[in-house]
Chain A
Amino acid sequence: MADVFNWQLGRKMRYRFPEAHPEWQFAAVFNINRCIACQTCSMACKSTWTFSEGQEYMWWNNVETKPYGGYPHQWDVHLLQMLEQVNPGGQTWDAANKDAKTAPYGTYQGMTIFEAAAKQNAGQEALGYLPKDEDWTAPNLYEDTARNGTGDLRRPKPVSLPEHETWFFYLQRICNHCTYPACLAACPRNAIYKRHEDGIVLIDQSRCRGYRKCAEECPYKKPMFRTTTRVSEKCIACYPRIEGADPLSDGVPMETRCMSACVGKIRLQGLARLNSDGTWAEDRSNPLYFLVHVERVALPLYPQFGTGPNVYYIPPRWVPRPYLRQMFGPGVDDAIARYELPSRELTAVLQLFRATRTVIFRYEIQEGPKVRDVTVGGKTWSLYNDTVVGFDKRGREAVRITVMEPFYERPSDRYINSV
Chain B
Amino acid sequence: MKLKGTQILLKILEEENVEIIFGYPGGTVLDIYDCLYHSKLKHILVRHEQGAVHAADGYARATGKVGVCLVTSGPGATNTVTGIATANMDSIPIVVFTGQVPTGLIGNDAFQECDITGITRPCTKHNFLVRNIEELAATIKEAFHIARTGRPGPVLVDLPKNVMAEEIEYDPANIKIRNYEVFHKPAPKKMAQVFEMLFHAKKPLIMTGGGVILGKASLELTQLAQKYQIPVTGTLMGLGSFPGTDQLWQGMLGMHGTYYANMAVSHCDLLIAVGVRFDDRVTGTIETFASNAQIIQIDIDPSSINKNVVVDLPIIGETKATLKDLMKFLADHNYAPVPAQRKAWLAQIAEWKEKVPLTYCQNGKIIKPQYVIQKLHEVTKGDVIITTEVGQNQMWTAQFFSFDKPNTFISSGGLGTMGFGLPAAIGVKCAFPDKQVVDIAGDGSIQMNIQELATAAQYKINVKIVILNNGYLGMVRQWQELFYEKRYSYTDMTYAPDFVKLAEAYGIVGLRATKPEEVEAVLKEGLDMNKPVLMDFTVSREECVYPMVRPGASISEMTLDREITN
Do A and B truly interact?
no
